[in-house]
Amino acid sequence: MRRMSVSLIAALAVLAAGTFPVAAVENCRTGDSALCLSDPNCHWDYERRGCYEGAPQQEDACAAHSHQETCDTDLTIGCKWNAESKQCKSAK
């Protein structure tokens, strides 16, 4: 009976340990994008495939346009072609 109760307590302790929430990722060092995004101090970089500290760098939405005609006709996000750098950039 004593062994049975010890075994039962040990089994319950193992089950209870699995129910606690996962600790925050320390210094954003993880290869799991879901764990990375669960920490508000981290962001997942899809190009470099990793978790990094801080907020993600904001990219210019107009940079996706590689041709001047496409850039100049995009009125929804306000793009303007930069002749010097030959890139589409946000007009604002």
Residues 11 and 3: their CA atoms lie apart, in Å, by 12
Query: Do strands 87-90 and 79-82 pair parallel, antiparallel, or not at all (unpaired)?
Result: antiparallel
Q: What residue numbers bound the domain in which 24 lies?
A: 2-53
Give per-residue pLDDT as tens, 22-65: 445 678 888 898 999 899 999 998 888 899 999 888 888 898 88
Q: Are residues 47 and 65 located together in one domain of the fold?
A: no
pTM of this structure: 0.44
Q: Distance between alpha carbon 71 and the CA centroid of its chain, in Å?
A: 28
Count of structural domains, the chain: 2
Q: Are residues 45 and 69 located together in one domain of the fold?
A: no
Q: Are residues 13 and 42 located together in one domain of the fold?
A: yes
Structure tokens at 80: 């303007």
Q: Are residues 49 and 71 located together in one domain of the fold?
A: no
Please report the pLDDT score of residue 3 as a whole number.
77
Whether 60 contacts 90, CB under 8 Å: yes
Which is more confident, 29 or 14?
29
Residues 41 and 24: their CA atoms lie apart, in Å, by 10
Q: Are residues 7 and 38 located together in one domain of the fold?
A: yes
> In the block, which residue shows the tokens 């990793």?
50
Residues across the chain: 92
